[in-house]
Amino acid sequence: MEEQDFQDVLIDIFDSLSYDDGYYSSIFDKLMGNNCQSFSNAGLLTCNKGVVINLKDGSHFQITIVKDR
């Protein structure tokens, strides 16, 4: 799996949490209602692959993806 593929998987995971039907709500309550996008879609000026996550409480996080092997 390449960085782009893993980035897309992470975005899909976080996006699915924002539309939770209640199954994960007790575990992922703080992640629900988030906005998640790739570094390039968020306008970050970097060559790295990664994900920007904006949570409903106003918190912002960035996850950089670096392939080890």
Residues in a beta bridge with 63: 51
pLDDT digits (tens, 9 = 90+) for 6-37: 888 888 887 776 665 666 555 566 666 678 89
> pTM value?
0.69
pLDDT digits (tens, 9 = 90+) for 31-47: 666 788 999 999 999 99
Q: What are phi and psi of 7, to 5 degrees?
A: -60, -45
- Please answer whether residues 64 and 50 qualify as being in contact, where contact means their C-beta atoms are separated by less than 8 angstroms: yes
Cα separation, 42 vs 51, in Å, equals 9
Cα separation, 31 vs 14, in Å, equals 8
